[in-house]
């Protein structure tokens, strides 16, 4: 887990491109984002952004630059997903700080972020608990 944000760095763009049903979750997975992107923005990408890559924000930048020509559904989806992915990245960055007290309580003697996370996922199931919400929003449950 030491490189948890770096692992997803290349996927940020992919995930920052889609989700109209954002109300169902506070964050969205990268795979779900790509699926919704294809559904809500596929025609716009073919028309305005053909040949661009998902990486390096090429498609996102293209859609934003062509906002006046892009469908309202795609524009809305893009904005929703950018917000959702930002929340996921913030949750991933802060989960160990948020869960520090619970980890000391529930995972005594466990060493390493990856093992602590596994312990918390197995033991932390309290509804409404900040640690539980952070783990879920981070996409690790």
Q: Which pTM does this prediction carry?
A: 0.65
- Check residue 26 and give its pLDDT: 65
* Confidence (pLDDT) at 76: 92
Share of the chain above pLDDT 90, in %: 34
Task: Indicate if the pLDDT at residue 90 is higher than 80.
Answer: yes
86: nearest Cα among 1, 8, 7, 2 = 8
Domain that holds residue 117: 4-137
Q: Which of 13-17, 59-63, 108-112 has the lowest mean pLDDT?
A: 13-17
Q: 25-47 as b/e, with b when 16 or more CB fall inside 10 Å?
A: bebbbbebbbebbeebbeebbee
Three-state DSSP string of 19-88: CCCHHHCCCCCHHHHHHHHHHHHHHHHHHHCCCCCCHHHHHHHHHHHCCCCCCHHHHHHHHHHHHHHHHH
Does position 128 have pLDDT exceeding 60, yes or no? no
What local confidence, expressed as pLDDT, does residue 18 receive?
34
The domain tally of the chain equals: 1
């Amino acid at each position: 887990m030491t490189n948890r944000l770096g692992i997803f760095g290349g996927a940020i763009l992919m995930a920052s491109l889609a989700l109209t049903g954002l109300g169902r979750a506070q964050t969205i997975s990268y795979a779900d984002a790509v699926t919704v992107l294809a559904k809500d923005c596929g025609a716009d990408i073919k028309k305005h952004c053909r040949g661009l890559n998902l990486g390096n924000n090429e498609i996102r930048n293209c859609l934003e630059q062509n906002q006046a020509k892009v469908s309202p559904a795609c524009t809305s989806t893009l904005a929703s997903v950018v917000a959702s992915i930002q929340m996921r990245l913030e949750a991933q960055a802060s989960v160990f700080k948020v869960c520090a007290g619970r980890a000391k309580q529930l995972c005594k003697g466990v060493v390493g972020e990856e093992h602590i996370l596994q312990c918390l996922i197995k033991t932390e199931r309290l509804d409404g608990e900040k640690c539980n919400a952070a783990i879920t929003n981070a996409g690790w449950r």
